[in-house]
Structure 1
Amino acid sequence: MLETVTLSQDYYLENFFRLIHWVLEKYEDLLTEKEIQYGKDILSWPRDASRLYVRLILRTGPYFRKDKLSYAEIESLTEAIRTLENHGYLQVGPDFELEEIWSLFTKPEWVDILGKWTDKRIPKSIKKEDLLEMADEMSFVDIKSDLLNEYEILWPLKQEEMWLYRLLFFGNLYQDMSEFLLEDLGVQKFEPYEIRKEDRTFQSRKSVDQILELSDWWDSLYQAIEEDNLPEVIELKESLIKIKPVDGFVERRQMKAWTYLGRVFEKYQFWDAALSCYELSVCPPARERRIRTLEKLGKLEEAVSLCDQLVLDGPDVTEQEFLRHFPTKLHKKLGRSYPSTTRPKYQTVNWKIKQNFEAPVEVQTLNFYEARGWQGIYTENRMWNALFSLLIWEPTFQSAPGAFHHPFQRGPNDFLSATFYPRRKDHIEAHLDHWERISRNGHFVQNLEELYQAKYLTAHQLLSWKNVPFKDLKTAIQVIPFAQIRTLLERWLQHPGKHSSGFPDLFLWKNSEYLLVEVKSPNDQLQSSQKGWLQFFNDHNIPYEVAKIAWL
């Protein structure tokens, strides 16, 4: 059990220092002298100045009132402000629009401020937004002068450098310093994987600048969507074309943008624009959406041809279900026959159970099987994801180019994708061979338990520690032959993100045999992820059944 700790007063500052040191160590060669100096300045100032600057840049701003700042660890706020101002990192009394500092003052404060510049009586019941409209009719110059005479408005500068450092550390701009807190508080521990300089996310400054450009592009797109501004969306399509990715990292980010933009155009029924977006991406579901868009445009032959090509290229797991039915629809529209896929047959049983409204159907079904001599657990995906994750723990956290952005990850960047296994195939297979030898030697349970205890509560994308006690894993590996465990794991590895769901609800065992049971209550249908696993069980002789439940 991780122990919670009391944070030091400078926890946020030490964490930001850690971020700066990390960025300078890994990326100094990609930074300008000005950007390098940014980090060095923050590290070298008097402590109070560093505290204040980091406090402000980590808060929602951009403007702050000095009289509202209260930080116990800052001994002299005035001296800290003076230091930052002298170094060009803080502006006191900046130029601003009224809307930009509106939230810094309460409604009563605005009533007092505006009351000096109007003869009208301002009712106490007035809404704050109505006050802003009233202020717009007054002299902004006078109001601003009054504010700056009475209050010290602060504006921390060099925000662009701060965002750059965050991007270089996290590999994105949506994560923030709260990631450090999970470790600081003892809430979470992280695998101590290595991030070598040659494996860092960004290998060129152009790559960094293009990711920043894409970030700005996304901000503009979200705003255009919120404002229902179709002309702006069309302009953003043209601006996205101008970004010529310098590496695979930028290219993948751009493809995601093209795929998303295509869906936006579909909502506007701009089919040609949507099609042109999908043509520039292979990021799922771009190819599927491209075929569907061709159908909308009546280009059926082209859609059929693309389906055929998709089969030849090897569909992503997310596209396989689509290819099972959509080509038939296209050929039917073209007036020609097409061999329909055979409806798969699953081992199915029908049980009548007396309904208990206080328990889930899965628990009631488990009780039903236990009354017939089985032992079992209601596990769904949890047990399998835990077992598979542990079996490939070491290869998962090995250093590889672009695998990790920063030290607080729950797995490599591609862990939930189809590229995870191919990039580590040799290491994973060698590791599984090692486990197979351990299994033959009779030490499987002991070694897996040692690993489980050593890694317990370590952050992992697919492992919910507290929901998977080791006794469940112990039972599974004692009754399932390792060869079958490895067979199941091999499918899971094809796409851990997609194949981490769809496992049967129940895991049952009786003596040396086991059974997987998918429970279906009345009117409950199999999902595509479940069908995928059931078909795999059919193909590889994994004992299972679909239990269709009817209530007595």
Structure 2
Amino acid sequence: MNSNQAVAAPLEDPLYYLANFEHVLAWVAERHGDLLSDVEHAFLALFAGLPLGSRALLVRMVMRKGEHFRPSRLVYPEIDAEIGNTESALAPLVAAGLVEEAPVLDVATLFTQLRLTELRQALAAEIAEAGLPATVGKGALREALLARGLMPRPLSAWWPEAPERVVRVCIMASCDRLRLMFFGNLRQDWSEFVLAELGHQRFEAVAFGADSRAFHRRDEVDAYLALHDLRRRLEGGEAPVDLAEALPARPDNPWLASRHARLCLALGRRAERDGMAELASTLYRRAGWPAPEASGEGRIRYLRLAERQGRWRQALILAEPLARVTRDDVEAQVLGRLLTRLRRRLSLVPETSAPEPAPERFTLHLPGPSRVEQTVREHLHREAAPVHYVENTLLTGLFGLLCWEALFTPLPGAFFHPFQSGPADLYRDDFVTRRRDHFKACLARLDDGRYRRTILATWRDKQGIANPFVHWEALDEALLTQALACIPPAHLRICFDHLLSNLRANRAGLPDLIQLFLEASPGEPRYRLIEVKGPGDRLQDNQRRWMTLFHRHEIPAAVCHLEWVRER
């Protein structure tokens, strides 16, 4: 497989999944060998020496959900053709210690492996002791036995007459670690190869250097796994107070520190919902300070909680310097409102600031109710002035197409496997500064007239390749051609600069519709952006930021308020 391209084994190969798995092992051994333990190196060597059918069966199990399996549910024609049957494929795995042939099973696992009729046979004594009817349903039986705290035991102890055994894969944790080192996250899994082979996902080919990897020290992998486990336990319903005690110190790696801050924030939100305000405050503080890897949302939530608790003076002392130094327009917007409330509560003289400009508005009264954007689009649409529903797809798509080279520049820490839809550091504080010259070169095409040709050529050449700003299904060549003919490059430059000032926050909040005036007279606007609001709806913060930008630079944009006229 080409190292810089997302190439998967052909699905016509019955053992395609094994080829993909072995590609990952080879990739990790080559690029992350120094981060592997002796045990993990031993596993790679042991796996390579197994019979083909046993390797295939192990990979089948690794790629399925859970660690426990009944051999009767592990029947695969290609494995039977290679080695005879499932039991023959299992034997070398058991001998090598990769599969446990008689693991202890707790009640929850037992219920995942046995059908209801089998459970009633296996647990007849426990059902009787619990005073449950013999016809008890599976859900009620499970809850009743879980409440009894029965000790785990092998299936043969639960059910001596069991018709078959349950086995357990012992190397799931190691395989998750290897998958993490390949993808740089645990969000992606083995299905990425299949989706790529089917053509459902296509990725830009990016050159990988020696430093093109997510982790540079083993303790960074350990930190990621520890944070991931705490997040999993939180989502599983464990108490935030227990998880907070297990929370490790913030890693010194910036992107892991960012993950640590997000976990603190999630724990804080759960603690606040559960009424544990002091714990929530502590967690928000850990999430929000110190900068730059800290969470701006953590700071805001800490300050809002302090306000609700009546700690107004403390909140003001923290919020005032933040408002002076923040470069995040989202944080600045929220801090401005917070400071106004705090000064009012403390009977302080409010600071004067320029009022937010009111956007242009107009109101339509149309029959309904129906989908508001579609109703307005159909009402305003004319052959010479077509209206398109674009929301967060057109301007961001034009940006993604124009700045393709900058987005996919193979800088260290940006790309480290062939299945990335965008750079891993996309939302980090230094993303733009690290690529300043690349973005400058791309945006220069707006000044010298090359932007139209570049955008359309990229749209044709890169069709369907994943880009975090390009939604292919929303962009056709006719729309792009018309939009590029009607929107002045100076307006595109203003919008793209605003995007680059905060990619995470500003990629959303753009107006719903664009109307293109194809026959406008010279000097007249050739387009307008329209944000549609139904009855009782109002502009969100990100929409207000965009509208303020449009007003400041005289970009034609308006808010359409739709009122329904009920037909009689």
TM-score for the superposition, normalised by structure 2: 0.86
Percent identity of paired positions between Structure 1 and Structure 2: 28
Task: Work out whether 1:160 is the aligned partner of 2:173.
Answer: yes
Name the residue aligned to 2:66: 61
Task: Give the match for residue 127 of structure 1.
Answer: 137
Work out the CA distance in 2 between the residues paired with 1:95 and 1:68: 19
Matches of 1:354 and 1:127 in 2, distance apart?
Answer: 54
* Structure 1 partner of 2:493: 486
Tell me the CA shift for residue 29 of structure 1.
0.9
CA drift at 1:173: 2.5
Residue 395 of structure 1: how far off its partner (Å): 1.1
Q: Does 2:394 align with 1:383?
A: yes
Q: How many residues align?
A: 536
C-alpha offsets along residues 459-506 of structure 1, whole Å, 9 cap, x if unaligned? 223322122112111111112222221111010112222212222222
Shift of 1:307: 1.7
Shift in alpha-carbon separation, 1:533–1:122, aligned structure 2, 3 A: closer
Q: Give the distance between the partners of 2:228 and 2:215, measured in 1 at CA.
A: 15
CA contact (8 A) 2:402 2:451 kept: no
**CA RMSD in angstroms, aligned pairs only:** 3.1
Corresponding residue of 1:270 = 276
Structure 1 unaligned blocks of 5 or more? none
**Could you tell me which of 317, 326, 350 is aligned with 2:362?**
350
Match of 2:432 among 411, 417, 421: 421
Change (3 A) 1:198 1:126: same
Instruction: After TM superposition, give the deviation of residue 128 of structure 1 in Å.
Output: 2.8
Structure 1 residues 355 and 202: CA distance shift in structure 2, 3 A: same
CA–CA separation in structure 2 for the residues paired with 1:326 and 1:115: 62
CA shift in 2, pair 1:94/1:210, >3 Å: same
Deviation of the 1:414 alpha carbon: 3.0
Quick one: which of 324, 338, 343 aligns to 1:312? 324
SS of match in other structure, 2:105: coil
Mapped to 1, the partners of 2:165 and 2:469 lie a distance apart of 49
The residue identity in structure 2 corresponding to 1:396 is: L
Q: Deviations over 1:394-444 (max 9, x none)?
A: 11111122223532121112324554322312211122224543x1xxx54
Q: Summarize the Cα distance change of 1:82–1:325 in structure 2 as closer, same or farther, 3 Å threshold.
A: same
Query: Within 5 Å, which residues of 2 pair with 1:163-174?
Result: 163-174=176-187
Q: In 2, distance between residues paired with 1:79 and 1:372?
A: 70
CA distance in 1: counterparts of 2:511 and 2:472, whole angstroms: 19
Answering whether residue 450 of structure 2 is matched by residue 450 of structure 1, we say no
Match of 2:101 among 81, 84, 92: 92
Cα separation, 2, equivalents of 1:216 and 1:349: 49
Q: In 2 relative to 1, CA 131–525 (structure 1 residues): closer, same or farther, beyond 3 Å?
A: closer
TM-score, normalised via structure 1 length: 0.88
Offset of residue 172 of structure 1: 2.4
Cα offset for 1:156?
A: 1.6
SS of residue paired to 2:77: coil
Single out whichever of 326-335 and 412-421 deviates more from structure 2.
412-421
Which residue of the partner structure matches residue 328 of structure 1? 340
* Residues 1:114 and 1:326: Cα distance change in structure 2 (over 3 Å): closer
Contact 2:362/2:558 (8 A) holds in 1: no
Are residues 346 and 470 of structure 1, via their aligned partners in 2, closer, same or farther at CA, if it must alter by over 3 Å? farther
Distance across 1 between alignment mates of 2:64 and 2:564: 56
Q: CA deviation at 1:52?
A: 0.7
Q: 1:138 to 1:108 in 2, by over 3 A?
A: farther
SS of corresponding position for 2:100:
strand
SS state of the match for residue 79, structure 2?
A: coil
Please name the residue that 1:250 is paired with: 256
Return the match for 1:111 from 113, 120, 127. Answer: 120
Deviation of 1:329 after TM superposition, in Å, equals 0.6
Residue aligning to 1:22: 27
Contact 1:62 1:156 survives alignment (8 Å): yes
| CA drift at 1:183 | 0.3
Q: Distance in 1 between matches of 2:159 and 2:512?
A: 68
Deviations 1:364-395 (A, max 9, x none): 43444445963332222211121111111111
Secondary structure of the corresponding residue to residue 296 of structure 2: coil
User: Aligned in 2, Cα 1:444/1:272: closer, same or farther, shift over 3 Å?
Assistant: closer
Question: 1:524 — aligned with what?
Answer: 537
Structure 2 unmatched ranges of 5 or more: 1-9, 288-293, 521-525
Match of 1:498 among 488, 505, 522: 505
The residue matched to 2:491 in structure 1 has which SS? helix
How does 1:187-202 map onto structure 2 within 5 Å? 187-202=200-215
Deviations 1:145-190 (A, max 9, x none): 7548742322222222112101111222333212222102121211
- Structure 1 window deviating more from structure 2 (140-149 vs 540-549): it is 140-149
